[in-house]
Chain A
Amino acid sequence: MPDQTNTDAEAAPAGRCPIIELSGAHKHFGDYHALRGIDLSVGAGEFFSLLGPSGCGKTTLLRTIAGFEALGAGRLVIGGRDMAGVPPNRRPTNMVFQSYAIFPHLDVGQNVGFGLRRSEGSRAQKAVRIGEALEMVGLAGYERRGAQALSGGQRQRVALARALILRPDVLLLDEPLSALDKKLREQMQAELRRLQRQVGITFVLVTHDQEEALIMSDRVAVMFEGRIAQLAGPQELYRHPASRRVAEFIGMMNFLPVIATGDTLEIAGLGRVPRAGLRSAAPDGQGPPEAGIRPEMFSILYPGEQTGRRTAQGTVRETAFYGDMTYYEVILDGTERPVTISMKNMPGRMILSPGTQARIAWDAESVTLFSAAW
């Protein structure tokens, strides 16, 4: 397997000094190799996400940073200090657990103030800080509420306040939104982002939801089987996936066989394009190449519409109306597998019904060449 990691992106982004530096990290659980050589650097104040399918090692990596799992090999530096042998309670990190881990025998105020030390001011001073922390997460005045009587969203806010009140250098969040329903999740995504900008603390978020990672993060590390497959900003990740697997995981992508190779390629259903203008994801020479193109990079032309773009012909097989968007499944002439095309619904634009002939516009710039084997 080739190393497809974008090495440039491993360094913390320009203008930010690194707060977390992880190099050559390995972790075994018995015979199972959970982390297989992780290198990454997170910048201070960055919103960083670990994205990947279930079981790829996201939680393990997060717990390694928190100190709940010891590294088998490799080096972890947080804020310039080597973390080898430093227990979780002495690390400048705090964690929001997936289950929130709200102490059920304490009320909200006691939960939020749990980590404040006796030395950190008088009872009254602490009460003020607890009040401020609760206000920050939108739970002002909830001090005396019992932990048992909270809704899922409120528990999550208490967990956030309980960690943020300690002003850690790094806040680690393990799928904090996965237990919430869709509406609340979207609301909390925006709120988390706002909170992170407000406090300026580095957030490391674990998620298996690619949309969530794209919306919230400055940078995203896509993980498969204990390795980082690509580490990049959301736009780079979406537009220039490093491998077919990343492309399939982030958003939707159509893959078309490339029939003839050489200086001029022929893409099934789309026609001939000069090789020179196309971007390649993986190195050549590993099985038959395929052309990848996102659904929104196609457009279906009005009958008789003029365009300077490349065109192709096809037949609509399936139409799915989403309100703001319509998704079409179109069989391009000369192919068998349909491609997905998404069109914004605009005034005057007709929704095509299945069976309609369609002229489709596309550009060579939006094509990425992939090797079928990754």
Chain B
Amino acid sequence: MSALEIREATKRFGDVAAVDGVSLEVEPGAFCVLLGPSGCGKSTLLRLIAGLETPTGGRIAIGGRDVTGLEPKERDIAMVFQIYAHYPHLSVFDNMAFPLRVRRIGEPEVRQRVEEAAELLQLSELLKRRPRELSGGQRQRVAIGRAIVRRPKLFLFDEPLSNLDAKLRHQMRAELARLHRHLNATSIYVTHDQVEAMTLSTRIALMNAGRFEQVGSPQEMYDRPATRFAAAFVGSPAMNLIEGRVEGRTFEGAGLRLDVEVQTSGAATLGVRPEDLELVEQGPWSGKVDLVEYLGAETLIHVRCGDLVLVVRTPQASDVEQGRNISFRPRRVHLFDPSGRRIG
């Protein structure tokens, strides 16, 4: 039985299909990330799961039970929002107790569950404070605490870290991962940050314009992008994409040639990740160094080949200088047809 099953869910706002017939199954205990650019419909899909929006079509089941027409409170879910949505007039304790009290859970148990969650989130010292007396990271933890006291079947997160600064985000990301290991609760997590997606998820559903581009493990997503969009979206620095043609098992584009193992011929896009480009003495490809970015653990070399700039990522601090000609070769490539589908 899946923890969450979405079948052909659609949500229209007037003429816009924010979510356009998507289907998804999530295993119990999975951490599934909905990833995609701004406006692709991630939040809308999450709100459909939560029951905050009514679907135009399709069905949603949580834990094997069809919840399509049910109110959020009947779905046994908890949600953490981007803004923390605390009740500013209540103390941290009362904020976390609120969902339990609304459900008429006895006060001794409320106390016990809140204290347990506070312990887990290192909030025990802060229970008497008001939300406005907390730091950003602490507020975020309160929001998470409010979700976990409920012990719901499903956790929903809508960009919960995007209001934090970079360092804190990093820290909270690790904390979320730890929390998920500890609770092992099924989670659906919306973000447009692919690093968050890669590090937190057991599964990624990549969305674009209301549809899924690819659903799979972070590694599948990275190693075998199913579409050109997935190839371009996942990975930082982004994959190098070269427009060209395949003719008789040879790809040619931007003055670069490569033998490929595909039967078809015609227009195609060749993709190479920056780390799959290797500097060599004498190579099939060459170009002029445009820019060298030294990042400490690695170096990014921007190489100009005709109109195109390719990024090469090397682990060593390289002595390459700007303006020099260098040779390199691709170790692994991805090929996409003009409709964006993977062909090899």
Q: Do A and B bind each other?
A: no
